[in-house]
Amino acid sequence: MLRYLILVILLAVVGGWLALRLNPSPIFTEGMVGQPVDLIPGQGPINPVDEVLENLLFRPLFRYNVSGEIEADLADNYRLSSDSLVYTVTLKESAWADGRPVTAADVAFTFTRDSAFSDITIEQVGEKEIRFLLKTPLSTFLDILTRPVAPAHFRQIKIEQLGNGKFSVSGIKQEGETIREMELKPTVFGRIRTLRFKFFTTEEELQTAARVGEIDGLASEDFSDPSFMLYQTPAYSKYFALFFNLESTNSLTKNKSFRLAAAAKAPQFSGGSRVFGPFSGTWAQKDVKTPSPTKKKFKGSLAISVPSEKELIEVVQVIKETWESSLGISVSIEKIPAAELANVIADRNFEAIILGQEVERDPDRYNLWHSSAQAFPGQNISSYADPRSDRALEEARKVSSRSARRTHYLNFQKLFVENNPAVLLYHPNLYYWVNRKFEGPDLTTVFSSEERFWNFADWSFNFAQD
């Protein structure tokens, strides 16, 4: 019996060794539409491909953990002045992929090019300390410091030497100026040793590559294949809303009873997820009792402007049909070419408009709803102005504890559902398809799509499926 057990153990060991020898370290290949542009955080226009890669290659001063709490990353510690206007951050000892140390000069280089720091003075204090001088107290400032930091000497290094994050660049395939593939090597040991990205020109090319086995993962709304598993979650970092122009001469947009009824009759969209108030997806989200809308019909007409995008035109068509039948009004649709959109918003040349807005993980929505943000390029699209709402947003920025901030945000939310300056329609969903040969993706803590690789060290390859 003993000899039998020893033989079984030996066979298991040998079998495992052979499996490792015959199956080289697996590579996970994701496909994306688009191209990397600069890979330097804070530079140039927003590019979804860059956003994903920068999130993997670069570390921030502070980061969110899986519990949604902010903790130090490149930062060792920070000090806050007694008047809450000066943050002094001390850096840990860390290095870039080329071996040079991360210094305060790198932090200053990155953030002086970021519009989020336009009203903040940045002072370098030695090699390992940097100071941020604010004009007013801002309890959400650490959230701003969760943006990735880039090396100040990036022009002096090759792309393969970029980064200091969870991954480093291990290989690139180019055709002229076009990058076809980029391979990243995890800096944290895991079961999958390489994360490869392949870049495509169109969605059709991307999906074809998935079906023929060229890639193992893709984010796509309309893809489907039995060899792929679908992981999905609301992308809380963005929502679409119908904004009423409260400065319009249209009597319906100025009618609080109508706006309440319109919000109550807003259709649910199967292609997205419900928006749970202005703090949806954050720790400040709270169910608030909504006032009961009137059951009477309204008289009048409303023109809804919408960017000339197929998805949004379909959304506004559903709203038109719903509101005409349930509210008794006449709705017209005005399609806006992309080239004219900024001027329409700047001039407030609309009665109501459907737009998407990007939001941060922190629930501070001052820039979206405070009356000081009405003038373009401010993002208060509705020109919402309520002194009580302003005060709630202002006070929430002055206190640091979540319990105190939650109280102010609850007050704001109550006023929001009372006034309804906008109808919050839906969050787009992240549909992430992964070949069934791979296991481990977890989107439960993901706030924005570029975070989908947060637990890549836990992903594995199922050799039995190969």
Helix residue ranges, H only, 99-149:
104-111, 141-144
The Cα 463–Cα 15 span in angstroms is 13
Of 195, 270, 206, which is closest to residue 433 (Cα–Cα)? 206
Tell me the pairing of strands 86-91 and 75-80: antiparallel
Topology (CATH) of 238-428: Dipeptide-binding Protein; domain 3 (3.10.105)
The Cα 388–Cα 2 span in angstroms is 80
Please state which architecture CATH assigns to domain 59-151. Alpha-Beta Complex (3.90)
Task: Using DSSP, state whether 435 is helix, strand or coil.
Answer: strand
The Cα 258–Cα 293 span in angstroms is 8
- Find residue 167's DSSP bridge partners: 186
The Cα 310–Cα 259 span in angstroms is 26
Of 230, 232, 234, 233, which is closest to residue 435 (Cα–Cα)? 230
Domain spans in the chain, listed from the N-terminal domain onward:
24-58+165-227+436-466, 59-151, 238-428
- Residue bearing tokens 């927003």: 46
pLDDT of residue 188: 80
Tell me the pairing of strands 194-200 and 178-186: antiparallel
Question: How many Cα atoms occupy the beta-carbon half-sphere of 75 within 13 Å?
Answer: 22
Asked if residues 400 and 138 have their Cβ atoms less than 8 Å apart, the reply is no
Degrees, nearest 5: CA angle 72-74-77: 50
Of 275, 236, 274, which is closest to residue 430 (Cα–Cα)? 236
Residue 11 CB contacts under 8 Å (≥ 6 apart), including other chains: none
Question: From residue 169, how far is each of 97, 181, 201, 461 by CA, in Å?
Answer: 9, 11, 22, 21
Of 161, 182, 160, which is closest to residue 52 (Cα–Cα)? 182
Task: Provide the sign of the torsion angle of the four alpha carbons 383, 389, 393, 395, taken in this order.
Answer: positive
Residue 462 CB contacts under 8 Å (≥ 6 apart), including other chains: 436, 437, 438, 439
The Cα 447–Cα 422 span in angstroms is 22
Q: Cα-flanking dihedrals φ and ψ of residue 344, to 5°?
A: -60, -45
* The two structure tokens encoding residue 106: 């790198």
* Per-residue model confidence as pLDDT tens digits over 333-355: 999 999 999 999 999 999 999 99
Q: Please check whether the domain covering 24-58+165-227+436-466 is classified as CATH 3.40.190.10.
A: yes
pTM, full prediction: 0.89
* pLDDT per residue as tens, the chain (466 positions): 445 544 444 444 444 444 444 456 799 999 999 999 888 887 666 789 999 999 999 999 999 998 889 999 999 999 999 999 999 999 999 999 889 999 999 999 999 988 889 899 999 999 999 999 999 999 999 999 999 999 999 888 888 888 888 899 999 999 998 999 999 999 887 899 999 999 999 999 999 999 999 999 999 999 999 999 999 999 999 999 999 999 999 999 999 999 999 999 999 887 899 999 999 999 999 999 888 998 899 999 999 999 999 999 999 999 999 999 999 999 999 999 999 999 999 999 999 999 999 999 999 999 999 999 999 888 999 999 999 999 999 999 999 899 999 999 999 999 999 999 999 999 999 999 999 999 999 999 999 999 999 999 999 998 766 6
The Cα 456–Cα 166 span in angstroms is 9
